[in-house]
Amino acid sequence: MKDEIGGNQKRARFQALCQSLRPDLLRFAFWLSRDRALAEDVVQETMLRAWKAQDSLQDEAAAKPWFLTIIRREYARCFERKRFVTVDVDELVAREEPMLAAAEEQNLAEMRAALFKLPDEYREPLVLQVLMGFSTAEIARELDLSSAAVLTRLFRARKQLRVLCGEDTSMDPQE
């Protein structure tokens, strides 16, 4: 009986953890895939896998990277299972237009359109840093890169974004 209550409390705790992380996980999956429907599928599948593997999460403080790793693997599995049709970025932006424009000013929509145009290798570390709050070392670990490579990608990501957004780049440094 005691074990049952302990198990239930543990599950409830895990549920609360999933609930608190889900919004950011969904955002991460969205920016990874640039597709809302796919992001939802990936997060759903991630939650199920996480639920089954919850005993392997020893430290709740490491929950976010743990979930992100599952998301990245799950996203990669989608590519193994499906053959995706490549689409033009402008078409992609147009498809997500209702969400992009939702109650936000135009410049945010422009920024998101620019993010859509960033190469995956630049967008992913940027999302990990800005949205998920990862340190350079954590991003390096997650993406299996050196810290120097991560910093270079982050630098290039912002540089490209600033150009795409029409920012004044006259004071920006050269690489």
Partner 1 sequence: MMDCAQYRRSMMADPHDPDPRLREHRESCHDCTLYSERLLRFESRLERALRVGPASEVAASSDNVVPLRAGSSRTGLRSTAYRKRMLAMAASVLMALVVGGGLWLSAPGASLAADVVSHMRGEPEAWRRTDVPVPNPKLDNVLRDSHLRLAAGGGAGMVSYANSCGFRGYQVPHLVLQTDAGPVTVMVLVHERSPKPVQFDEQGYRGVIVPVPGHGSLAVLTRGSATDMETIEHIAHRVLDSIIWTG
Judge residue 5's burial from the number of C-beta atoms within 10 Å of its C-beta, 0-12 exposed, 13-18 middle, 19 or more buried.
Answer: exposed
Q: Which is nearer to partner 1, 91 or 105 (CB)?
A: 105
Work out how close the CB of 120 gets to partner 1 at its nearest, in angstroms, rounded to a whole number. 15
Q: Note every long-range contact of 116-124, with CB atoms under 8 Å and residues 24 or more positions apart, other chains counting.
A: 116/34, 116/89, 116/92, 117/89, 117/164, 118/157, 118/160, 118/161, 118/164, 121/153, 122/153, 122/154, 122/156, 122/157, 122/160, 123/31, 123/157, 124/31, 124/32
Q: Which is nearer to partner 1, 23 or 90 (CB)?
A: 23
Q: Which is nearer to partner 1, 44 or 146 (CB)?
A: 44
Q: Which is nearer to partner 1, 52 or 91 (CB)?
A: 52
Compute the Cα dihedral for 58, 62, 67, 69 and give only its sign: negative
For 159, the token pair is 């540089």
Work out how close the CB of 169 gets to partner 1 at its nearest, in angstroms, rounded to a whole number. 10
Q: Which is nearer to partner 1, 19 or 86 (CB)?
A: 19
Work out how close the CB of 55 gets to partner 1 at its nearest, in angstroms, rounded to a whole number. 14
The letter for the amino acid at 35 is D
